[in-house]
Structure 1
Amino acid sequence: MSPDARPGLPAGGQTRRLALSGGRGLIGRCRDFTRAALTDWQWIPADESTDTAQEQLLVVEDVLLLVSELVTNACLHAGGPEELALHCTDERLRVEVTDPSPTAPSPRTATPSLPGGHGLHVVERLSREWGTTPRGSGKAVWVEVASPLRAAVVSED
């Protein structure tokens, strides 16, 4: 199936936004919102028994981990997240978390045996690229992940 033929995803892509406030259950809410969007965009296959489906599911788990890391970092270091935005095209998914702090995140030196300081290293490993964009008096921290659907279409050709 051509990625352009996917129902629910216009040729120019689709964006979904979730306004955020409060602290209880925030990460779970963001993960559920992301999972629902990825299901609608067919990143989560109906038949999970094929090798291609298993590869898609691994990418979905990576995306959910990235969402968790960005939201957690906004909670711990930037005054809390204000919005989660997902923009999906045929080529990629862009995840953005906005927060009120203008300070860009930077990877810390992490000690392998101790918790903390690993989040941005995970983000660097799992994303195609990541960065920050100024937004009002704060910023958006974003990550991009290549679409597993595009890879599946290319491998079928």
Structure 2
Amino acid sequence: MNPLKSGTLDLALLAALSEQPRYGLDILKYVNERSGGLFDLREGSLYPALHRLVKAGWVESDWQPSDKGGAPRKVYRLTDEGTGALSSKRAEWQTLRGALDALLYELALIPEHPQRHRMFVHLRQLVLFATRSAQLILANHRNLIFLRRLRQPV
């Protein structure tokens, strides 16, 4: 199962860009690494999603020279609207997680449900996977903000 297909792609991309501007393959590498390899984000999904975010006004892009002397790279950065969208998406994520937690709890209380065990296992795996992925992305984001503050002159 690829959880990015279930609506978390925008959240992951906005979170990645909230730390710093990034070019496409850097975004791809970042999201895949920070999710512990659980997300299988590919270029075929990344670039259409970035185009959609640009069109929505949440992300802007421009061409910048490569730091390695190669061809210019298209660098993406979060806009002010994108920062607001990220906050909104995080709130949506918390709501979804709360609903799934409530469903898991309710299923655990209905022992006679014929699919209870199967649904419980699948939902539990989904919640654990999604929670861990979000924790990794958000923890890294907090660490980078902390490091930036340490580097700022007093």
Q: Confirm or deny a common fold (TM above 0.5).
A: no
Point out the structure with max Rg over C-alpha: 2
**TM-score w.r.t. structure 1 length?**
0.29
> Of the two structures, which has the highest relative contact order with CA contacts closer than 8 Å and spacing of 6 or more?
2
